[in-house]
Chains A and B, each alone.
Chain A
Amino acid sequence: EDQVTQSPEALRLQEGESSSLNCSYTVSGLRGLFWYRQDPGKGPEFLFTLYSAGEEKEKERLKATLTKKESFLHITAPKPEDSATYLCAVRRGSGGSNYKLTFGKGTLLTVNP
């Protein structure tokens, strides 16, 4: 069974204090690792898709990286508006159930001014 574990569960940063969120996964034949941001009362907002180990993607203060067993979401000089829950999900590439995403429980990020 596919598994996704995110750590830490919660992270509190000061504005400008860079850090990283971790997503460890076990999946049969990875066909994509997805990062989403979710604000309270809203649906997840797509950030990145990574497909193979060594791949990196950046968007503003966020940078996502992928290895064969985990992904990191690096946040550089965060601002209060970066406060949200960050979700990681994987999609398998073989066998059944390869049209679903398996999500981690998320990391609640709070950035204080």
Chain B
Amino acid sequence: KAGVTQTPRYLIKTRGQQVTLSCSPISGHRSVSWYQQTPGQGLQFLFEYFSETQRNKGNFPGRFSGRQFSNSRSEMNVSTLELGDSALYLCASSLEAVYGYTFGSGTRLTVV
């Protein structure tokens, strides 16, 4: 059974650019969540999608956005990148939130 797949694994971007990260959930999972992980703040919730609808959004600026497609694949976009956006971005999928979440290996974003 394939796990959660995130692409790309590593990215280096320049301040002011934008970036799109991709997540393919486990087959059959309709809930997809995104988290940002930094050494100082730990894992922080970005947003959660279920059947193409955003159900929750964390306390991040509007530069952070996401979407989910009809096949449950999800993308997140960060516009006007700042140095502080450097982090490991993790995607997690779930059959339903109550059953817990399976995480991907993440995308390591470095903003220079």
Contact = CB atoms under 8 A, between A and B. Distances in A.
Contacts of B35: 101, 103
Contacts of B105: 41-43
B42 A99 contact: no
Interface in A70-113: 87, 89, 91, 96-106
Nearest to B99: A49
Given A97-B56, A106-B42, A31 B103 contact: no
18 contacts: A31-B98, A32-B100, A34-B101, A43-B92, A43-B106, A46-B100, A46-B102, A49-B99, A89-B43, A97-B45, A97-B56, A98-B97, A99-B33, A99-B50, A100-B48, A101-B35, A105-B42, A106-B42
Interface of B: 4, 31, 33, 35, 42-45, 48, 50, 55-56, 58, 90, 92, 97-106, 108
